[in-house]
Structure 1
Amino acid sequence: MANKVYNFSAGPSVLPEQALKEASAACIDFENSGISILSMSHRSKPIDNMFAETEEYLRELMGIPENYDIVFLGGGCSLLFCMLPMNFLNQDATADYALTGVWANKACKEAKLFGNVNVACDTKSETYSRIEKNLNLSDNASYLHITANNTIYGTEWQSFPKPKSGFLMADVSSDFLARKINVSDFGVIYGGAQKNISCAGVTVTIIRKDLLGKVDRTIPTMLNFQTHIDAKNMFNTPPVFAVYVMNRTLKWLKEFGGVEAIEKLNREKAALLYSALDASKVFVGTAAKEDRSIMNVPFVFNKDVVAADKADDLAKEFLEFAKARGLQQLKGHRSVGGFRASIYNAMPMEGVQALVDCLGDFEKKVLA
């Protein structure tokens, strides 16, 4: 019998089997209507109810206060990177950006098109292997932008910085609902859903109501968050199926025990894997220990054990060794190299244990 497959992809990534089955069934017949959710009007009552329920799940699971709006949009975070400064940063104003990885840099680049940007920190010279805590903040910034978890580099803000002025804005794409946060500490929270809470195709933006309408520029209709808030996410045809997959994933998370319960499991999974890496002679983690992510774990060969000229061939061998055991999508991002295990909410402890066992067995093979 073939090994069970565990998908360690950084995104799109592993989702709960329960959510996949329910979403699959809805593709044939949604809510006993005889119509597929893929071909049902977004103006219909079943879809309207589903959007409302999805928002209710999010509000309950994250503890989102009533003075925050929730916007579901397509376009990915690459679109939000420009929409956010367009809506919140005046041309003559300044925003602080903490550069802790590739995605933070992309967000910063877009912000420069709309106003002034102050780089609060930049750890590129250290391959973004740590989170800089001493930020160079502006006295009059409109907001401070951070990337809560850096998918590529495996670092995560363990506690969130406070802006000197303005509000805190966070991209939470890769640790969405993986740990408890206080929404009221943020003015804007946003993220792509495909790393932890849905399939690709939808983003979530959570916005404090008093923050919109402050910029002087004319904002194109589709790029104005207020457009979508006023239309209750139905200004144009929304990414219905991706929102439904989110709905089912949030339902699964609620039944699991909510964010508190999944955070406990996530920390146990991460501790198991980091413990194995710290004890290994062949493998070593790349992120600073105090900043390690509980979602994304990059690791490489120990240079003292594996010679540089042997590393590429041995890496291919390890990936094949892991794949034969059903452990897939472990190749690291090109900017870090080596390997990366993304252990999102839906990754069971059994998958992490299987990876730990694989690391141990491969190490014995290398050291034999």
Structure 2
Amino acid sequence: MVTINDVAREAGVSKTTVSYVISHNPRIPHDTQERVRRAMKKLGYSVNHTARALSTSKTMTLGLLVSGQNDGMPLSLTRGAYLCELSKFARQHGYDLLLISNPDGVQAIRELAGTRKVDGLILMDLQRNDVRVAAAVESKLPTVLLGVPYDPLGLDVVDTDFERAAHELIRRFVNQGHRDIALVHTSESPKDDGANYAVRFRQAALTEARTAGITLRVPPMDVWDLNPAEHIRTVLNRFPTASGLLIDDDNAVIAAPQALLELGIHVPEDLSVAVVVPDVIHQRMSIPYTAVNINLSAVAEETIDTLIRRISKPDSPSVTRLVSQPLNDCGSIIRCDAP
């Protein structure tokens, strides 16, 4: 059986250094950490997490609290992809990921804090005014918010930079001469106070459109909850003068090629289209539209890394990390000669 002493000899470091690397001590230089990890991989060394948990009084478990099943949120492929990515990066740090789904998120946090089931907590599916944020602060559990509420109350925040995504996409339409575009939008539930990423993207897109002097047409809230194909048809019927379509809803992005084909609309000849969508959907489903691709893996890795740092240094200043991605131009926005 390979021991920690074998790893130390292979890496040319002390046993204590190997132990520090395993426990993610930030004092160890990055190149030394990499050398130790290469030695562990080469020798096939596995950390005994049970023994480590007993010796450190840690559970070696991270909690992921999502919204409960009765919250009315639509099915989201992004949510499922995040679960897989977060679990992967937690495992790389030697942690298990415990999924908690409870309609009463405040009570769930209090139970986690009272039973000490987890060493740290990630709050997902954030609303702009999310009561779970205050509960997390009260619990004193190391917590990272996967999303941006109005007030994070001093907690660490990680998310995609949806404001930058909106800027990039609106500017692409503007640079191609478009003056009138329409939005197929993710349900916020409720408007201006619901899903944090949806509110932020819509507000940023409207601000960018006003700054550029163009019209961004946003349908009323009841349209946002229609099934994806009907949502697209309703928006196009309601705003026939729009030369471009901007889509920020995962399900509508997936439905758009077939829905537009059935309507006899050719992209980009008849209508320019751009989307914001997770990279895994854009690539694996061959979505043919210009996009800002959300790098779910990068956001998940940053979330786990931030939580591990918070666990090891609970009194350090809070951070906000927004992950941005460049525009992926697939040629679906063409020059518009309309005045």
Structures share fold, TM-score greater than 0.5: no
Higher RCO, Cα 8 Å, sep 6+: 1
Q: TM-score, with normalisation over the residues of structure 1?
A: 0.29
Q: TM-score, with normalisation over the residues of structure 2?
A: 0.31
- Larger fraction in helix: 2
